[in-house]
């Protein structure tokens, strides 16, 4: 007997909403994070920011840079540094694929979402992206406005 597949439950902690506006997303993947206990407790309180962060390769490892997880209020002396580098957990094959795609011109790795998966583990959705030019951003905004206006017209007349 096949068990029906249950939908994955994600409790989103932080989302980088500007990433889809500033970058053209080529591909996405899921990565784990190496965190300390006070960081996880602070994340459970829904406090973090990944809007200005990015991922980078250093010394053969993959790191999340400039992400903000505030100190846990009851953390006393065992608290963490809010802006420390956090190691990303991806397979060697994925890391090689990411390194090859980033080494090409104009490509970067940008975090999209930070969330708890159905097992309660903190995961980060990463995207290999290419930066948009100003005219591309204008086109995106124009399409968004047109879709909004179109749905408004259909709602009013339909």
pLDDT digits (tens, 9 = 90+) for 134-153: 877 788 888 889 999 989 88
Question: Which residue, chain included where needed, has tokens 């995961």?
Answer: 123
Return the DSSP state at 120: S
Q: Extract the tokens encoding 96.
A: 């090689």
Query: Homologous superfamily of 11-132 in CATH?
Result: Small protein B (2.40.280.10)
Position 5 pLDDT exceeds 70: no
Position 3 pLDDT exceeds 70: no
Look up the pTM and report it: 0.76
**pLDDT given at position 4:** 61
Angle CA 118–48–15, to nearest 5: 65
pLDDT category at 19 given cuts 50, 70, 90 is: confident
Phi, psi of 134 (to 5 degrees): -60, -40
Average pLDDT over residues 9-28: 83
Helix (H, G, I), strand (E, B) or coil at 14: strand
Average pLDDT over residues 108-119: 89
Q: Extract the tokens encoding 88.
A: 């990303």
Q: Extract the tokens encoding 138.
A: 């204008």
Average pLDDT over residues 93-108: 83
Calculate what percentage of the chain has a pLDDT beyond 90.
4
């Amino acid at each position: 007997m096949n068990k029906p597949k249950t939908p994955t439950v994600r409790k989103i902690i932080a989302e980088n909403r500007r990433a889809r506006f500033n970058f053209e997303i080529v591909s996405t993947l899921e990565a784990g994070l190496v965190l300390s206990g006070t960081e996880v407790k602070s994340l459970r309180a829904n406090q973090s920011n990944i809007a200005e962060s990015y991922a980078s390769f250093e010394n053969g490892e993959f790191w999340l840079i400039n992400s903000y997880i505030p100190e846990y209020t009851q953390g006393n002396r065992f608290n963490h540094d809010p802006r420390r580098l956090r190691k990303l957990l991806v397979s060697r094959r994925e890391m090689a694929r990411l390194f090859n795609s980033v080494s090409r011109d104009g490509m970067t790795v940008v975090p999209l979402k930070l969330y708890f998966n159905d097992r309660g583990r903190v995961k980060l959705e990463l995207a290999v992206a290419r930066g948009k030019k100003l005219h591309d951003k204008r086109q995106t905004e124009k399409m968004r406005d047109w879709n909004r206006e179109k749905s408004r017209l259909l709602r009013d007349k339909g």
